[in-house]
Amino acid sequence: MKFIKFAVVTGLFLFVSGFTECYKPVTNSGLPPNIKKVAVPAFQFEVRGARYRVESRFTESVSREIIKRGRGLKVQGTRDGADAVVEGTIRDFNFSGVLLDRQGRARVYEVTITAAVTVRDLRENKILYDNQNLIFRDSFEFSEDPRSFFNEEDPAVERMSRAFAESIVSTIINGFAVKEDKGK
C-alpha cells in the first residue's frame, strides 16, 4: 500500500513538473514601455439628438477599464502631459424593434452602436491602433404587462459600453501591431 501511494505521488510530481514551462504569464503590455499616462478625453458624438449620455458612458467605461486592467497606467481626461491618447467617436446609434408580440407591438429591441477609436503615442506621434468601424450590439425585451414596465434601453447601453471598453483595453494591454507613420 505504501508503495502504491509513493508511486502515485512520484508519478504526479513528475507529471506536473514536466509542464512547468508550458504556462508563462503575460507580463508585457502591447503599449511601448515609455507610455505611463493615458489620456481618455470625452468621446465625440457624430449623431446629434440620438440618446442622452451615450458618449460619456463609453468614455467612463474605457477609463475605468484602463484603471482596472492597465497594469499601473495612469488615466487622465486631458492630453496635457499624457504619453498616449485614446480618442473615440460614436458614429451611429440605432435602436430598433426586432420581435413583435401578438398585437404587433415591438417587444424585443436591438441597440447597435458604431464607434471609431484611435490610440496615439503622443511622444513619438505614432498611431498605435486605429479602427473606424467598431460595431457593438445588444438586445433587450419589454414586458408584456404594462404594470411591470421597465425601460431596458439604459442598461443595454451600459452593457454595451462595458463590452466596448473591455474590447479596446484588451487590444491595448494584450498588444497590437504598431503602424508605421509614412508621413515622417
The secondary structure of the chain, three-state, reads CHHHHHHHHHHHHHHHHCCCCCCCCCCCCCCCCCCCEEECCCCEECCCCCCCCHHHHHHHHHHHHHHHHCCCCEEECCCCCCCEEEEEEEEEEEEEEEEECCCCCEEEEEEEEEEEEEEEECCCCEEEEEEEEEEEEEEEECCCCHHHCCCCHHHHHHHHHHHHHHHHHHHHHHCCCCCCCCCC
By residue range, what is the domain housing residue 55? Answer: 31-174
pTM beyond 0.85: the answer is no
Is position 82 within any domain?
A: yes
Is position 184 within any domain?
A: no
End-to-end CA distance of the chain: 74
Is position 179 within any domain?
A: no
What pLDDT, in 10s, does the model give residues 71-114?
888 999 999 999 999 999 989 888 777 777 777 777 788 888 89
Is position 18 within any domain?
A: no
How many structural domains are present in the chain?
Answer: 1
Grade residue 20 by pLDDT with cuts at 50, 70 and 90. Answer: very low
The count of residues in the chain is 184
Is position 53 within any domain?
A: yes
Most confident of 14-18, 107-111, 112-116, 147-151: 112-116
- Cβ-based neighbours of 154, under 8 Å, separated by 6 or more: none
Is position 10 within any domain?
A: no
Is position 170 within any domain?
A: yes
CATH number of the domain at 113, please.
Answer: 3.30.160.150
Is position 96 within any domain?
A: yes
